Amino acid sequence: MIETYTRLKEINIDNSRKPGGIEIKGLEVFYGQKQILKGIDLVFPAGAVTAIIGPSGCGKTTLLRCLNRLNELAHGCKVKGQILLDNEDILKMDPMLLRRRIGMVFQKPNPFPKSIKENVLYGVKATKRKCDHDATVQSCLQKAALWDELKDRLHESAFALSIGQQQRLCIARSLAIVPEVILLDEPASSLDPISTMTLEASLLAMKGEYTQIIVTHNMNEALKVSDYVAFLYGGKLIEFGETYNIFRNPQRQETQDYITGKVY
C-alpha cells in the first residue's frame, strides 16, 4: 500500500488549479415541509480530506449534495444559508460552472455507455477545456490506479469493467476537469476489500492537490484516509475536529456513542 501511494503521489495532472476551501454558514435544507439540515456551520480546510460520519438519515448525503447543488434536481427542495467556496457564494453561482469546480463520485459507479477513453474525456469535451487529450487520459487513469490495467484497452466499453474498476474510472473522469474540490458519497460501499484498498491509495495520493469530502459509514475508512472528521446527527453538526482527536477524545456524548457503536 505504501508503495502504491508513493507511486501515485508523483503524478500531477495540472498545476494551475489550487485546492479550494469551503465554508458553510447557517445551512438549512428543507424537502417540502420536512427540515433535513438544521443550521450547519462548518469549514472544510483546503487540500485536506474531511470525512462526514453519522448514522443513517442524519443528512450526510443531503449535505454533500448541497455542495455541488445536485439536491436542487429533486422537487420541493429549499436551501437557506450560505456556502462559500474560496469566499464566493455557491448558491448564487451558475450551477454548471460550480459543478466544474466541485466534482462528485457516487456511491454506485455510473460510467457512461461509451469507451473508457471517451468516459475520461467526456467532461473535458463538454467543458471545452484545452489540453492534450492523450496525456490527460493517461495521467487521470494513472492517478486512479487504472493505467497499468487498462492502457491497452482504452477503446473497450466501460461496462465491461469490474465494479472496482468502474468506480476508479468515475474518479478518473472527475479528475479530468481538474476540480478544486471532490465530493465522494460512500465511494467504497460497492467494492470488495482489495478494490477498496486501491481506492483508498488513490484518495490519499490526491491529498494536497484537491480538497476531498467523503461521506462514509465505515469508521476504518475515515480513520485511514481523512485528516478531519465531522460528526452529524439529526441534521445538526455535533462535533468537528482532527481525526485523531475525534476518535481518541470525543468531546460530546453522542460522538462517543456513535464511535463505539451504540448508535447506528
Partner 1 sequence: MKKRNPIFNVKNLFFILAMIPVVALVLITINLIIGSIPAVKTLGPRLFSGTFILNTEPATSTARDLNYGIVPALWGTFMVVLLSMLIATPASMAIAIFCNDFSKGFVSSAIRSVLGVLSGIPPIIYAFMGSIFFLTFFWAKFAGKGLPLEMLPPPNQLPSDASCTLLGGLMLALLIIPFMSPLLDDAMQNVPSSLKEASFSLGANRWHTLTSVTFPYALPGIAHALILGMLTALGETIIVAYTIGFVAGKLPVPLFDVLKRVAPLTSTIAGLSTGGFSGMQLIGPIGHSVASFIGLLLLVIAFAILGLSGYLQKRLKRNIR
Partner 2 sequence: MTDNTAIAYLGKEKKTVMHKTKSIQIIAGFVGAISAITMIMGGFTLAVNSIEVYAIPLLLTLFLSLTILFFVVRYWHQKTSSAVFFFAFISLASVITIMFLPQYMQWSNINGIIHRSLISGVLELVVAVPAACYSTYYFFGATPRADDISRYPILIFCTVFALSAYAFIIYQIIFKAAPYLNWSVFTSPFSSQYRIVELWQNGWPTFSTQDLRQAGLLNHILGTLLLMGLTSLIALPIGVSVGIFVHEYAGPKLAWIINFSTTALRSISGVILAVTALSILGMSRAGTLFYKIIHGFGYDVNGSMQVGRSSYLFASVFISLLVIPLIARATQEGLGSLSKEIREGSTALGVSREHTLFHIQLPWSFPNILTGLVLGCAEAAGSLTIIFLIAGTGQFGVGPLNETTSLAYLIFDCRYGKSMGDQVQSLMGSYQYAAALVLLIITIGLTATALILKNKLAKRYKGA
- Quick one: which segment of 11-19, 80-88, 92-100, 252-260 binds partner 1 (CB under 8 A)? 92-100
- Quick one: which segment of 40-48, 123-131, 141-149, 240-248 binds partner 2 (CB under 8 A)? 123-131
Report the site for partner 2 in 146-175 (rule: CB under 8 A). Answer: 157, 159-160, 170, 173-174
* Cβ count near 160 (within 10 Å): 11
Residue 93 is classified by DSSP as S
* C-beta of 94 vs 152, nearer to partner 1: 94
Grid cell locating 147:
493505467
Contacts of 133 (CB under 8 A, 6+ apart): 121, 124
Min dist. Cβ of residue 235 to partner 2 (A): 23
The distance of Cα 197 from the centroid of its chain, to the nearest Å, equals 16
Min dist. Cβ of residue 175 to partner 1 (A): 22
177 binds, among partner 1, partner 2, none (CB under 5 to 8 A by kind): partner 2
Which helix (H) or strand (E) is 241 found in, with range?
strand 236-242
Contacts of 215 (CB under 8 A, 6+ apart): 51, 52, 53, 60, 61, 63, 64, 184, 185, 186
235 binds, among partner 1, partner 2, none (CB under 5 to 8 A by kind): none
The distance of Cα 213 from the centroid of its chain, to the nearest Å, equals 5
Distance of CA 49 to CAs 77, 117, 131, 182, Å? 28, 28, 27, 10
* From candidates 15, 34, 73, 97, binder to partner 1 by CB under 8 A: 97
* By the rule CB under 8 A, 94 interacts with partner 1: yes
* By the rule CB under 8 A, 190 interacts with partner 2: no
Query: What are the residues binding partner 2 (CB under 8 A)?
Result: 68, 70, 73, 96-101, 103-104, 106, 108, 110-114, 122-123, 126-127, 157, 159-160, 170, 173-174, 177
Query: What are the residues binding partner 1 (CB under 8 A)?
Result: 94, 96-97
